[in-house]
Amino acid sequence: MIEMTNLLYQHICDHYEELKGAGEMKPLLDGAMELPLDKYRIQIDQLEAEKAEVEAEKLRLEKENKELREQIERLKK
Protein backbone atom coordinates (compact mmCIF):
# COMPACT_ATOMS: atom_id res chain seq x y z
CA MET A 1 0.00 0.00 0.00
CA ILE A 2 2.84 2.42 0.85
CA GLU A 3 4.53 1.69 -2.47
CA MET A 4 1.29 2.35 -4.37
CA THR A 5 0.77 5.58 -2.43
CA ASN A 6 4.29 6.73 -3.30
CA LEU A 7 3.68 5.91 -6.95
CA LEU A 8 0.42 7.84 -6.89
CA TYR A 9 2.10 10.80 -5.21
CA GLN A 10 4.91 10.76 -7.78
CA HIS A 11 2.37 10.57 -10.62
CA ILE A 12 0.46 13.55 -9.20
CA CYS A 13 3.67 15.54 -8.74
CA ASP A 14 4.77 14.82 -12.31
CA HIS A 15 1.50 15.97 -13.81
CA TYR A 16 1.17 18.90 -11.43
CA GLU A 17 4.61 20.06 -12.58
CA GLU A 18 3.40 20.01 -16.17
CA LEU A 19 0.75 22.53 -15.14
CA LYS A 20 3.41 24.81 -13.61
CA GLY A 21 2.09 24.34 -10.09
CA ALA A 22 4.73 22.10 -8.57
CA GLY A 23 6.20 25.00 -6.59
CA GLU A 24 3.15 24.91 -4.34
CA MET A 25 3.62 21.25 -3.44
CA LYS A 26 6.00 20.31 -0.68
CA PRO A 27 7.88 17.02 -0.81
CA LEU A 28 6.86 14.35 1.66
CA LEU A 29 9.28 12.06 3.39
CA ASP A 30 9.10 8.38 2.48
CA GLY A 31 6.16 6.83 4.30
CA ALA A 32 4.84 10.21 5.48
CA MET A 33 1.21 11.14 5.24
CA GLU A 34 0.04 14.74 5.04
CA LEU A 35 -2.81 15.33 7.43
CA PRO A 36 -5.39 18.12 7.32
CA LEU A 37 -3.69 19.60 10.38
CA ASP A 38 -0.49 19.99 8.33
CA LYS A 39 -2.37 22.12 5.80
CA TYR A 40 -3.69 24.34 8.59
CA ARG A 41 -0.22 24.74 10.06
CA ILE A 42 1.17 25.74 6.67
CA GLN A 43 -1.64 28.26 6.22
CA ILE A 44 -1.07 29.64 9.74
CA ASP A 45 2.64 30.07 8.96
CA GLN A 46 1.78 31.95 5.76
CA LEU A 47 -0.70 34.19 7.56
CA GLU A 48 1.81 34.94 10.32
CA ALA A 49 4.39 35.90 7.70
CA GLU A 50 1.85 38.19 6.01
CA LYS A 51 0.95 39.69 9.40
CA ALA A 52 4.61 40.44 10.10
CA GLU A 53 4.92 42.16 6.70
CA VAL A 54 1.81 44.25 7.38
CA GLU A 55 3.08 45.23 10.83
CA ALA A 56 6.44 46.25 9.36
CA GLU A 57 4.66 48.34 6.73
CA LYS A 58 2.48 49.90 9.44
CA LEU A 59 5.55 50.90 11.45
CA ARG A 60 7.17 52.35 8.35
CA LEU A 61 4.06 54.40 7.56
CA GLU A 62 3.74 55.59 11.16
CA LYS A 63 7.36 56.75 11.09
CA GLU A 64 6.82 58.50 7.76
CA ASN A 65 3.65 60.12 9.12
CA LYS A 66 5.51 61.38 12.19
CA GLU A 67 8.28 62.83 10.04
CA LEU A 68 5.76 64.61 7.82
CA ARG A 69 3.96 66.06 10.84
CA GLU A 70 7.28 67.32 12.20
CA GLN A 71 8.05 68.96 8.86
CA ILE A 72 4.63 70.63 8.85
CA GLU A 73 5.22 71.94 12.38
CA ARG A 74 8.63 73.33 11.36
CA LEU A 75 7.08 75.07 8.34
CA LYS A 76 4.41 76.66 10.51
CA LYS A 77 7.05 78.36 12.67
Domain boundaries, the chain: 1-33, 35-77
* Whether pLDDT at 47 is above 90: yes
Distances (CA, A) of 26 to 8, 41, 46, 66: 15, 13, 14, 43
Instruction: Kindly state the helix (H) or strand (E) to which residue 11 belongs, with its residue range.
Output: helix 2-18
Mean residue pLDDT of the chain comes to 82
- Is residue 39 over pLDDT 90? no
Q: Which residue has the higher pLDDT, 34 or 73?
A: 73
- Beta strand segments in 1-77, E: none
- C-alpha distances in angstroms, 44 versus 23, 30, 48? 18, 25, 6
pLDDT band (50, 70, 90) for residue 28: low
